[in-house]
Amino acid sequence: MFSAWTVRKSGLEPIAVEVGNNMSDSREVMNIRQASQYLGVSPDTLYKYVNEQSIPAFKLGNRWRFKKSKLDQWMEEQSTDTETRGRKRGKAATKAAGQQ
């Protein structure tokens, strides 16, 4: 369904406009679909993270919910961990290369 129209010489033409799918319109509490879009992963991947208890989530009734602030904090922690591991590997790789 189209939510906007434009006037052309040929008459009215629909304009495809995404409504309510803008991340600036995101809410503090998101469902699995919204959180997966926000994180850029599939819902199946997000369910996997939930089952592994590696991502902050809570159940509201029988549905998983995600707080945006907690996801932001989790992403920051993940990026910090990745940077730290990368530096450690870099040193090990440098040391190994020097021994050959």
User: Does the predicted TM-score (pTM) go above 0.85?
Assistant: no
Q: How many CA atoms lie within 13 A of 64 on its CB side?
A: 18
Answer with the residue of higher pLDDT: 51 or 4: 51
What top-level class would CATH report for the domain 25-92? mainly alpha
- The model's pLDDT over 36-92, given as tens digits with 9 standing for 90+, comes to 999 999 999 999 999 999 999 999 999 999 999 999 999 999 888 777 777 666 666
Write a three-state SS string for 11-41.
EEEEECCCCCCCHHHCCCEECHHHHHHHHCC
Helices (H) and strands (E) in the chain, counts: 3, 5
Q: Which two tokens stand for residue 65?
A: 């919910």
- Please give the torsion angle defined by the CA atoms of residues 66, 68, 73 and 76, in that order, rounded to the nearest 10 degrees: 110
Q: What is the pLDDT of residue 32?
A: 96
